[in-house]
Amino acid sequence: MMVLGGIGFTAPWILAALAALPILWLILRAVPPAPIRRRFPGVALLLGLTDDETVSDRTPWWLLLLRMLAVAAIILGLAGPVLNPEAEQAESSGPLLFVLDGSWAGATRWPQQTEAISAQLTRAGRLSRPVGFLVLTKPETPVFQSADVWRNRLAGIRPAPWQPTEATLGRAAEAVGQIGDFDTLWFSDGLAYEGREAFLTALQSRGTVEAYQTAANVLAMTPPQYDSGAIQLRALRVAGGEAREITIQAQGRDPAGNARILASVPATFDAGTTEAEAALSLPSELRARIARFDIAGQRSAGATALTDDGLQRREVALISSRESREGLELLSPLHYIEQALAPTADLIKGGLDDVIPANPDVIVLADVATLSEAESAPLAEWIENGGMLVRFAGPRVAASDISRIDEAPLMPVRLRAGGRSVGGAMSWGEPKSLAPFNDTSPFFGLAIPDDVTVSAQVMAQPDPTLASRVIASLSDGTPLVTRKAIGQGQVVLFHVTATAEWSTLPLSGLFVEMMERLAVSSATASADAQSLEGTTWTPLRVLDGFGTLEDAGTLPGVDGVALVTADTGPLMPPGVYGSGERRLARNVVSADTILTPVTWPAGVPVRGLAVAPEQPIAGWLLSLAVLILMADVVASLSLSGRLLSRSNAALVIAVIAFTLPVDVRAQDAEEEFALNATSEIVLAHVITGDQQLDETAFAGLQGLSDTLFFRTSVEPAMPMSIDLENDELAFFPILYWPVTPNQPRPSDEAYAKLNDYLRTGGLILFDTRDADIANFGASSPNGRKLQELAAPLDIPPLEPLPADHVLTRTFYLLSDFPGRHIGRDVWVEAAPPDAEQIEGMPFRNLNDGVTPVVIGGNDWASAWAVTNNGAPLLPIGRGFSGERQRELAYRFGVNLVMHVLTGNYKSDQVHVPALLDRLGQ
């Protein structure tokens, strides 16, 4: 392949043909364009006329140039031009090792990276180099195979949600050590990590190393913190650079259970900084729904921050037996527990019957002995459904008979009467300290301060179940905290008071930690190793490298300390871990992570991932040549005068017309519609969607039009069917609207048009076609539909058509208005209240204008309907009386159209006798 100016040619020798172009120029120039033969009688007048220029009419230079260009394009196209020809690789045929960081940092750009790898595989395949792969996050001994094999397996290589560590690099170096010399292509994710340099040196000792790395910045999210009423979010990026705004999205499930973005907040990296912060304040209901935060547009585990209990503030209801008296706050049974919970939980106070409907997570009963039936029943139900009841003992519990003989349902154990007091003034012995927590206890691992002593407690009755219910005990083995599961919830009893009266426990830090362990409160700060001592956490849902949460399956549990201290890796993937009620999220990036950009030594060439693939452009050039030749056709025709003969011009115009946007045709259709509707009077009906009804309406209007044509000076053209949504209404004097229960309700725009139509003098004839059996109430489906259809219309008050209405005499004198039915009332606009009959006048002077609506139910269209040859379409009534009824229906139609077209003209006519009378006098 020869490369000229960035374009390679696969067959460069064809370019030699370009040298022939000047010769072609001369030849083409010498040949004049071919003449046209024309029949022309006037040739007799031309005889003897000579051309002014003796030189023959040569092809103009620009036409020649055009043809030269076409020929040049063809030659270039045939020479096989290729855009972005690959620079020739060093002709090495040794094995090639692809080293991939394979961490979350590259996940967002993984498709580009895969593409780049694929391009390199293609080249390696062309050179028949054996190819091996080494993914540093999951190192295995590379197996050198042909590039085609690897190409098929490429899609299976996925980024891991952790970074390569020294350990994995050590294994990688070991794996590399087992194979011979090779060249290396290192696809880096852009993040530096421990031990890279050493591994690079090891690779360089085996062959050449080339690095591929995206120019895009790596973004990451640190775990969200809940602080001062808002969720504090922090995003990191590897390199400073210019200011950039990102959007942090809170993902979770909405109440319907669909995953969606619950909230989003922008955060800005200032120029040169690598941190962006944002605060998000959400109601606790919504906050509890958030499963994770991620950065819009990023698709990596690092840009995803999972949430855990740290964001969730439990609602705790505190209930004590005594109303706290003013000034005795330190003696309040709830004081210490309030102090312990206030920073991490939302506290609710009130009566038991008030707080249960609020469905708190925890209810604390401090020294409450007896509960009424009305209280205990809903409380028990609440516990069954997952509530947690924490009870504290106290003088009242000790004095009461609760759970004395039988175990009370809301107590974990039976109690002995009176309790006991140790180490007091009146008793022997020292106050008791706490025994170390058993490893089945949720408190296991908590350090017990020495100064925690218990001087009084309520005693549990020895029971077969007692041992399993004790989760903390005193040094003498008596239970201090007992627990019982009820349904999905549990009851926990502290055998001491919630105040410092019976023990110093509420004064110590241990009390707070115990609350945390019981998930009464939730830790706000990220859990530290100490507080997790002795716990085991099982992964519930884990992240993959792309930041997708997956079910953890059967992954083994993790020690609590390791969960916060150890690096993430195959044994401990990032994800959500659970222990009992508690949830802890292990994120890829922790709060103190610093992202370091990778630096390559000077000897390693670094390339971007953007591959400009080889692009043959022969097709383009040949197409260009064809285009030029087509232009040449047009130019030649115009030169020889053959282009714009009249038929050709019509063709050209037709072509242009067809290539113009459809709008023109739409406009034409609109124009045609307007012309059809306005060149003659046209009656119209509304399309209801019921085909048979629409056809009947159309036939009816045709029959009416014919009748009008024969009998009156109104000569309508063919009726039209009107789509209320799209067609202009203003052209039609009258709209016939048959009502059917299942026609769609017109859109708001259509109603706006209809109201406009009514206001500007249009008339709508509503026909419920049900013989008015419902009297326009809602008892017939058509009547209901009519009410629904007409509700948004701007219709004046109506009345049954009065006997002296102008509609009774605009053309025929009518007293009733039958259609297919002989209904009773036809409703029209009500007469003004001041209309009075003048003495000597047969009629009142009613409305000045045309009634905007006429409503009836006589199914007039069926009576009017005619077939194409003018015969009645539908039978009406029986025999002659039926025909009479049809005739009256026609007369009504004629009167109606006359009324629309002439208004109150006939009303005025009734004054004529009076006027003549007056003139005569």
Residues that bind another protein (CB under 8 A): 32-47, 49, 51-53, 56-57, 639-642, 646-647
Q: How far apart are CA 224 and CA 221, in angstroms?
A: 8
Give the nearest distance from C-beta 52 to another protein in angstroms: 6
Task: Tell me the H-state helices in 594-717.
Answer: 618-639, 646-659, 663-678, 691-711
Shortest Cβ 638–another protein spacing (Å)? 9
CA–CA separation, 27 vs 829, rounded Å?
A: 89
Nearest distance, CB of residue 645 and another protein, angstroms: 9
- Bridge partners of 285? none
Torsion sign, CA atoms 704, 707, 713, 715:
positive
How many other CB atoms are there within 10 angstroms of residue 657's CB atom?
A: 11
Which neighbouring-strand residues pair with 260?
252
CA distances for 879 relative to 704, 769, 883, 886, angstroms = 21, 22, 7, 11
Q: CB 50 → another protein: shortest distance, Å? A: 9
Q: How far is the CB of 37 from another protein (least distance, A)?
A: 5
Other C-beta atoms within 10 Å of 38: how many? 7
Q: Which is nearer to another protein, 37 or 878 (CB)?
A: 37
Q: Which is nearer to another protein, 51 or 439 (CB)?
A: 51
Least separation in angstroms between residue 48's CB and another protein is 8
Q: 627 Cβ partners below 8 Å, 6+ apart? A: none
**Residue 172 and residue 154: Cα distance in Å, rounded?**
19
Residue number with CB closer to another protein (40 or 428): 40
- Taking the least distance from each CB to another protein, the nearer of 64 and 149 is 64
CB of 647 to another protein, least distance (A): 7
- Identify the DSSP state of 238: S
Place of tokens 């009378």: 917
Whether the CB-CB separation of 126 and 92 falls below 8 Å is answered with no
Nearer to another protein, 30 or 675 (CB): 30
Distance CA 829, CA 831 (A): 6
Q: How far is the CB of 806 from another protein (least distance, A)?
A: 43
Other beta carbons less than 10 A from residue 521's beta carbon = 25
- Determine the angle formed by the axes of helices 196-204 and 166-177, rounding to 10 degrees: 10
Helix (H, G, I), strand (E, B) or coil at 203: helix
Instruction: Output the smallest distance, CB 29 to another protein, in A.
Output: 15
C-beta closer to another protein: residue 13 or 62: 62
Closest distance of CB 635 from another protein, Å:
12
Q: Which C-beta is closer to another protein: that of 45 or that of 405?
A: 45
Token pair belonging to 586: 């292990």
Reading the block at residue 633, the tokens are 């056709």
Which H or E run includes 898?
helix 879-902
Could you write out the DSSP letters of every residue in 485-527? EETTEEEEEESS-SSTTTBSGGGSHHHHHHHHHTTSS--SSPP
CB of 71 to another protein, least distance (A): 23
Print burial letters for 850-887: b (CB count within 10 Å at least 16), e (below 16): bbbbbbbbbbbbbbbbbeeeeebbbebbeeeeeeebbe
- Please, what is the minimum distance in Å from the beta carbon of residue 32 to another protein? 6
For another protein, which is the closer residue by CB, 46 or 425?
A: 46
Is 603 strand, coil or helix? Answer: coil
Strand pairing report for 209-213 and 183-188: parallel
Q: Which is nearer to another protein, 273 or 645 (CB)?
A: 645
CA-to-CA separations, 415 to 398, 453, 469, 493, 542, in angstroms, rounded? 8, 21, 13, 11, 45
